[in-house]
Structure 1
C-alpha cells in the first residue's frame, strides 16, 4: 500500500493553507486547542465526529482529511477506475448476459468476498460482473429477481468504495442501486438502498441528514412490510444505522431509541441473518451498542461489554463485523490509556479481517497514535504500521 499522510498531518496542512491558527480552527470546530494540537501531532486519534467538525470550517470533505492512500499507481487505483467506468455505463454494459447458473455463482462469490472483507479480490470481480448483471436485468425486462440481484450487487460495490474512501463513487453507486431497486417492486430492496444512502451521509459527517434518511426509510417500509425475517432484517438494520448516526451526532436519546428498537427486532430472530447484504440479529446489535459507547465517550462501558464478546464472538458473524468489533475495542482501550490492550485488539483485527484493518480510518488512526508512542520498540506494532502504509 502507498504511504499516505495521516489525518492530523492533513488537518495541519489544510489549516495553514486556509491561513488559520489552531485557536481559530478549534473555536470554529467546537473542540479545545489542546485537543486539536494533540490530533495534529499524532498523540490523539482523529475520530469521525471530530473530523466532521473540522471539515466544515476547512471546507473540505472528511475523505480529504483522512486521506486517500489508493490513488497512486496501484492496482487498487486501476481497479477503482474500472469500476467507475462500469458504474457510469450503467445502461450500456459492455458484457453480455451469462448463463443464469454462472451469474448466480459469481454473485454469491461477490457476496462472500464482501463479508470476508477481501476488498481487493472483490474489486477485481466487480466491473465485469456489474456489466453481466446489468445486461441480464435489461434483457429480463420486468423480472424482479434479475433487478434484485443487480441492486444487491450494487450494495457490494458500495461497501468496497466506502472502505477505499471513494465518496463520490459511493454516491454514484447508491444512485444506481436505487435505480435497480425501483425495478424490483420490492420495498425491501429500496430500503436496503436507503441504508447505503444514509451511509454516504455518515461518511460525509452529515449525521443529521443521515438520520433523516433512516427515519424516512423506516416510515416508508413499515407501511408496506410483511412480518417475515426479511422485514425484521431490514427494519433492524435501519435502526442500527440510526445507532451509528445518532451516537456520532452525540444524541444519546436518539441513540438509545434506535438501539432499543433494534434489540426488540433482534429477539424475533434465531441468530444473525444476512439478507440484501445486511446482517442483523442479537450479535450484530451488541457490536453496534459497543461502538455507540465509544462514540459517546463511554469507553469504560465498551471495554466492559467486550469481555463476553471477545471470549465468545457471536456465532454467524462474518469477518466484516468481527473486524469492526476489534477496531472499536482498540479505540476504547486507547481512550482508557491501555496502549497494550489497544495493540492487542488491533492484532486481532488484522488476524480476522486484514484488509479492513489496513484501510479502515480508525484502525489507521489508533495504529498511528500507538506507533508514535512506541516508535520502533515493538516489532508487531511496526509490522502492522508497515502494512497500513504508515511508516514511510
Structure 2
C-alpha cells in the first residue's frame, strides 16, 4: 500500500511538472516495493523510467526498462508476469518513440500486444490498468510521436465503434493524441473535435496537460477569434489571447 501511494504521488507530480517531487516519490516507492514483492518492484521500475521520460533522458529510461524486464522475466510467473512485462514494454515503447527509434518501438509494441493477449479485458492492479485497451492508447500515442499519423487514426476508428472502459485519465490523453494526429494531417476541425472529446472525458486533466495546452495555442493561432467553441476551451484552460 505504501508503494502504491508513492506511485500515485509520482503520477500527480509528473502531471503537474513537479519534477523534484516526482523523483523523490519514485525513490520512496522503490524502498517500499522491495519489501512488497516482485510485481511491486516492476511497477516501481516502470515509474522510475517515467521520471527519465519526464526529464527527457530517454536512453536512461530505456536502460531502466531493460533491466526491469530481465528481472521480471526471472522472478514473476503467471498473470503477474504478463502484467508487469506488458507495463514495462509500454513504457519502453513510449521512450523509444520519443527518440524516433522505430525498430525499438516495433519490438516493444509487439511484446506489449503479446502480453495483452493474456487478458480478455483490461485489469487494474496497484492502481494501474493493463490489457488490450490500455495497450491501444499507448500505441496511438507512440504512433503520433513517430509521425505515423495515419496509423494512429486507424486505431481510433475502432474506439469510435466500441467505446473504451478505461478511466477518464486514459481516455482524455487518447483523444488529445488523436487531435495531434488530425492537426498534423491538416484536419483542423477534426483536431478540435478530438480535443473537445478530451475535455469532455477529463476536463481537469485537459486544463493542465501539455498536449492540450499546445493544441489550444496552435488552433487559436489558426482560427483567431472566429470559433466560439475553441474560445470557450481556451478560456477554461486559462490561456491568454
Q: Which TM-score band applies after superposition, normalised by the shorter structure? A: over 0.9
Q: Does 1:266 align with 2:116?
A: yes
SS of 2:75 mapped into structure 1 = coil
Tell me what 1:363 maps to.
212
Tell me what 1:377 maps to.
226
Q: Does 1:301 align with 2:151?
A: yes
- Provide TM-score, normalisation by structure 2: 0.97
Alpha carbon RMSD of aligned pairs, Å? 1.1
C-alpha distance in 2 between matches for 1:210 and 1:333: 29
Query: In the TM superposition, what is the alpha-carbon distance from 1:307 to its structure 2 partner?
Result: 1.3
Q: Does 1:334 align with 2:186?
A: no
Q: Does 1:222 align with 2:73?
A: yes
Tell me what 1:164 maps to.
16
C-alpha distance in 2 between matches for 1:367 and 1:233: 35
Tell me what 1:324 maps to.
173
Asked if 2 retains the 8 angstrom alpha-carbon contact of 1:233 and 1:278, the reply is: no
**Which residues in structure 2 correspond to 1:282-297 (within 5 Å)?**
282-297=132-147
C-alpha distance in 1 between matches for 2:152 and 2:146: 10
Asked if 2 retains the 8 angstrom alpha-carbon contact of 1:234 and 1:278, the reply is: no
SS of 1:155 mapped into structure 2 = helix
C-alpha distance in 1 between matches for 2:127 and 2:73: 20
Partner of residue 196 from structure 1, selected from 24, 47, 50: 47
Q: Does 1:210 align with 2:61?
A: yes
**Which residues in structure 2 correspond to 1:1-392 (within 5 Å)?**
149-184=1-36, 186-227=37-78, 229-314=79-164, 316-391=165-240
C-alpha distance in 2 between matches for 1:324 and 1:153: 22
- Structure 1 residue ranges without an equivalent (≥5): 1-148
C-alpha distance in 1 between matches for 2:65 and 2:116: 18
SS of 1:223 mapped into structure 2 = helix
Query: In the TM superposition, what is the alpha-carbon distance from 1:277 to its structure 2 partner?
Result: 2.3
Rg larger for:
1
Tell me what 1:89 maps to.
none
Deviations along 1:295-351, whole A, 9 cap, x unmatched?
11111221222111133223x311111111101001000100111111000100000
C-alpha distance in 2 between matches for 1:325 and 1:203: 18
Deviations along 1:55-105, whole A, 9 cap, x unmatched?
xxxxxxxxxxxxxxxxxxxxxxxxxxxxxxxxxxxxxxxxxxxxxxxxxxx
Query: In the TM superposition, what is the alpha-carbon distance from 1:226 to its structure 2 partner?
Result: 1.6
C-alpha distance in 2 between matches for 1:288 and 1:168: 25
More helix per residue? 2
Highest RCO, 1 vs 2 (Cα 8 Å, sep ≥ 6)? 1
SS of 1:274 mapped into structure 2 = strand
Runs of 4+ off more than 2 Å? none
C-alpha distance in 2 between matches for 1:197 and 1:380: 39
C-alpha distance in 2 between matches for 1:277 and 1:335: 33
- Structure 2 residue ranges without an equivalent (≥5): none
Query: In the TM superposition, what is the alpha-carbon distance from 1:274 to its structure 2 partner?
Result: 1.0
